[in-house]
Structure 1
Amino acid sequence: MAAFLNNKRSSLLISIFAGFIAILVAGGAAWFYWPQIAKYITPPEKPDHLTLTPARFTDLDGWQSDNMQPALVAFQRSCERMLKRANDKDIGPDPRMGTVAQWRPACETALAIDTQTIRSEDLRTYFQTFFNPYRAGNNNDPVGLFTGYYEPELRGSLTRHDAYQTPLYLKPDDMIDIDLGAFRDELKGQKAVGRLTGSKLVPYFNRSEIEAGALSNRELELVWVDDAVDAFFLQIQGSGRIVLDDGSILKVGYAGTNGQAYFAIGRELIKRGALTPKTVSLQTIRQWLHDNPDQAEDVMNMNASYVFFRQLPGDPDAGPLGAQGVPLETERSLAVDRRFHAMGVPIWLETRDAMNVDRNFHQLMIAQDTGGAIRGPVRGDIFFGPGEKAALHAGHMNRQGQTYLLLPRSISIADSATNRQDKN
């Protein structure tokens, strides 16, 4: 009997131990496969979506004190461009922004205004007469990131010699821009860039491949510059002035991108301990690259995105041409995400000053440009103009803020948390 009880006790202990091991194994397996399991039980993040909430001009902090003449100059340029299109055309990808016909009365009136003589209070009356403000949100979250850019000035030559060894490339003719929305409705507004190898479409060359010579000997060199780091930052800015070795000025602007993902190399320098979140800026990144030439190329190549240029016509002293094809206005032109915003729309911006976080930067901007790093409905890049002061402000501009879109009164958008881009 005792032997029987001992055997039963042993069997029970073995069963308990085996069960415990099974739990550990199962738990370990669950832990190991958790990333695969989690994606089925974790709600997916909401895709970016521009929500527009009706507001009043009294909601716009600083509206009464802004000097709007420079903004009107920028808006007039946008209107001239906009009114060249047919009346029934939407002004942008989102039908809620309206048609050219709906913008025509406001634009024609703006073009008749003398920017030199109009008083600020009369200009405010103009905007309040023709427009209604709408607070922008990303799924109703009104807070977004606002950065800055400027017009760089580089030294260059039309021929390769001496210090001029870094090319700025024209857009290659084998680069294929693909509108993914043409294949699937849910991909509307998304694009890809590739090239053909035989009958197969593959991603276009990344920065590392281009720097290694993937585009050499194809007569794509627009100009040669004397500083690879400056050329890198010119691609981030998108346009600039090249002072040629004969003293003349060549203005260059954005012609396209290779479609590769943009990577902010400042993150890598923070990760390496070379910079800190408080010290990272355009100036400190540039200085580090110049001070560490043995590592600079590898770090820059981490940003696979590569920008191609074209020669810009017109007055060398005018602002660079933005994505809308009009000269940019210092501290009044705003780069936005064209998946959500239309070029030419006045946008009231409320953020903080680049150099003094305690000072407001509240003023009227015009959406006139875009950029590869400008992603999201509440995301903007302020054009600070040319020169070193502009570079300093652009390098330090990294602030939270919010925006209000000014849309013609003939456009009516309901106050709804779910107002969609496919509805007027």
Structure 2
Amino acid sequence: MSGRRVALVTLLAMLAAAGAKADAASLSPVAFSAIPGWAEDDHAAALVTFRKSCQAIDASAAPLRPGVPGGAALAAACAQAAKADPAGARSFFERVFSPFRVGRGQLTGYYEPEISGSLKPTRRRDTPLLARPSDLVSLAQGETAPGLPTGLQAARRTSAGLKPYPTRAAIEDGALAGRGLELVYLDRVDAFFVHVQGSSRVRLPDGSALRIAYAGRNGRPFTAIGRLLVQRGEMTPQTATMASIRAWLAAHPEDGRALMRRNDSYIFFQIDKSLAPADGPRGGQGTPLTAGRSLAVDRTVWPYGLPMYVDGVTPDGAPLRRLTIAQDTGSAIVGTARGDFFAGSGDAAGALAGSMRDDADFFVLLPKPTKDAAR
């Protein structure tokens, strides 16, 4: 068997052990020294974030939802991480993982908004965030049922079987009214962007705050309204930032409402009382996200907990070279070389995240076989 074939077989085994579904042929082994900015990164910060993921990878940790991986390879890496000295974090990652170049793809950003809300509807805050309905059934990747269109990621349980869940427009028109699902009321545009981001800190009139966390989605396809505005000639790809989209929606309230309803995807939420004020929101893995170190990935390709290195730029052109951990996902995050960078909480993080949409080089760190990692 040729050396190339041996390497490919070994890589396939590593991918399977890690729970990934990436095409091994698309990955190229590289040396750590060949990764731009690797030596200068704060590996101790990445180690802290990786250890948070290990709490969910461990078999005794309750996952947020079914499907959180706890593969033997990542579990073994977690055992090594528990003993690692932060001062030797770089050595830990180089000893326990092997780096591979995934390819070049789009790097966007997201954040946790901090917005004002109310527990009761008001003239300005008339749009509720809804709790997860009891008849919502999340579907596994590729799962379907008789009568369901292919590609849906959730469905509605009925006496006649599974049916497509109502669209955003239908829900806004009252498809779930009268079920007591309302958690908090927001301005319409604020509510829409909380759906896009997947979480929020909501400041109430009495000064207290609620942490709003993702609890499910209606399974309908996501449509980016920024792309629709570009197609209509209202903006260019360069000017379609989160800030400019919000400004357009505010200036065109009726047309903006119709535009937002073009996105059939609808998110359901829960109030998370377990997070400390300093914690980030919970990602898809169920662990609190870390600003600058958590990455949302395509969950059908990469398992949660894998270290992913990104080599990109910030909106102002500065290098963004960072070892991140796959801890979240999103309906718009599709593909092997695709990531969504968690920028943090609040307006400053939002300004950064809303302008991130450049290409970046992606690298994945796959855990070595246990006997090799222990050397």
TM-score, with structure 2 as normaliser = 0.84
3-state secondary structure, aligned to 1:63: coil
Unaligned runs of 5+ in 1: 1-46, 137-141, 413-424
CA contact (8 A) 2:101 2:362 kept: yes
User: How much does 1:179 deviate?
Assistant: 3.2
Task: Report what 2:214 is aligned to.
Answer: 254
Note closer, same or farther for the CA distance 1:92–1:68 as it changes in structure 2 (3 Å cut): farther
User: How much does 1:411 deviate?
Assistant: 7.2
User: Does 1:167 find its partner at 2:128?
Assistant: yes
Give the alignment partner of residue 279 of structure 2, picking from 299, 318, 321.
318
3-state secondary structure, aligned to 1:179: coil
Task: Report what 1:378 is aligned to.
Answer: 337
Note closer, same or farther for the CA distance 1:63–1:411 as it changes in structure 2 (3 Å cut): same
Listed as ranges, the matches of 1:136-151 within 5 Å are 136=102, 142-151=103-112
Give the alignment partner of residue 56 of structure 2, picking from 78, 81, 86.
81
User: Does 1:286 find its partner at 2:249?
Assistant: no
3-state secondary structure, aligned to 1:402: strand
Task: Report what 1:407 is aligned to.
Answer: 366
Deviations 1:121-167 (A, max 9, x none): x321121111111222xxxxx22111000110121122334533110
Give the alignment partner of residue 234 of structure 1, picking from 182, 194, 206.
194
User: Does 1:299 find its partner at 2:270?
Assistant: no
3-state secondary structure, aligned to 1:128: helix
Task: Report what 1:71 is aligned to.
Answer: 46
Task: Report what 1:4 is aligned to.
Answer: none
3-state secondary structure, aligned to 1:299: helix
Note closer, same or farther for the CA distance 1:197–1:182 as it changes in structure 2 (3 Å cut): closer
Give the alignment partner of residue 108 of structure 1, picking from 74, 79, 86.
79
CA–CA distance in 1 between the matches of 2:220 and 2:367? 37
The percent identity for this pair of structures is: 40
Task: Report what 1:390 is aligned to.
Answer: 349
3-state secondary structure, aligned to 1:213: coil
User: How much does 1:200 deviate?
Assistant: 5.2
CA contact (8 A) 2:279 2:290 kept: no
Give the alignment partner of residue 348 of structure 1, picking from 297, 300, 309.
309
Give the alignment partner of residue 171 of structure 2, picking from 206, 210, 213.
210
User: How much does 1:348 deviate?
Assistant: 1.1
CA–CA distance in 2 between the matches of 1:191 and 1:197? 16
CA–CA distance in 1 between the matches of 2:335 and 2:248? 30
Unaligned runs of 5+ in 2: 1-20
CA–CA distance in 1 between the matches of 2:144 and 2:221? 21
CA contact (8 A) 2:168 2:265 kept: yes
CA contact (8 A) 2:56 2:68 kept: no
User: How much does 1:281 deviate?
Assistant: 0.4
User: How much does 1:222 deviate?
Assistant: 1.2
User: How much does 1:217 deviate?
Assistant: 1.1
User: How much does 1:352 deviate?
Assistant: 1.8
Deviations 1:358-393 (A, max 9, x none): x32111000001111111111100000011111111
CA contact (8 A) 1:179 1:190 kept: no
Residue type of the alignment partner of 2:198: G
Residue type of the alignment partner of 1:376: G
CA contact (8 A) 1:249 1:316 kept: no
Give the alignment partner of residue 97 of structure 2, picking from 131, 147, 156.
131
Deviations 1:269-308 (A, max 9, x none): 1222221222110000001001111211101001111111
CA contact (8 A) 1:153 1:240 kept: yes
Task: Report what 2:14 is aligned to.
Answer: none
3-state secondary structure, aligned to 1:385: strand
Greater helix fraction, Structure 1 or Structure 2: 1
Note closer, same or farther for the CA distance 1:250–1:205 as it changes in structure 2 (3 Å cut): same
- Larger-gyration structure (1/2): 1
CA–CA distance in 1 between the matches of 2:365 and 2:357? 24
CA–CA distance in 1 between the matches of 2:161 and 2:71? 40
Aligned length: 341
Task: Report what 2:9 is aligned to.
Answer: none
Say what the alpha-carbon RMSD is for the aligned residues.
2.5
Deviations 1:68-107 (A, max 9, x none): 2221111110112212359xxxx9789xxxx643334432
CA contact (8 A) 1:241 1:252 kept: yes
User: How much does 1:316 deviate?
Assistant: 2.8
3-state secondary structure, aligned to 2:117: strand
Residue type of the alignment partner of 1:61: P
Task: Report what 1:12 is aligned to.
Answer: none
CA contact (8 A) 2:313 2:358 kept: yes
CA–CA distance in 2 between the matches of 1:125 and 1:180? 36
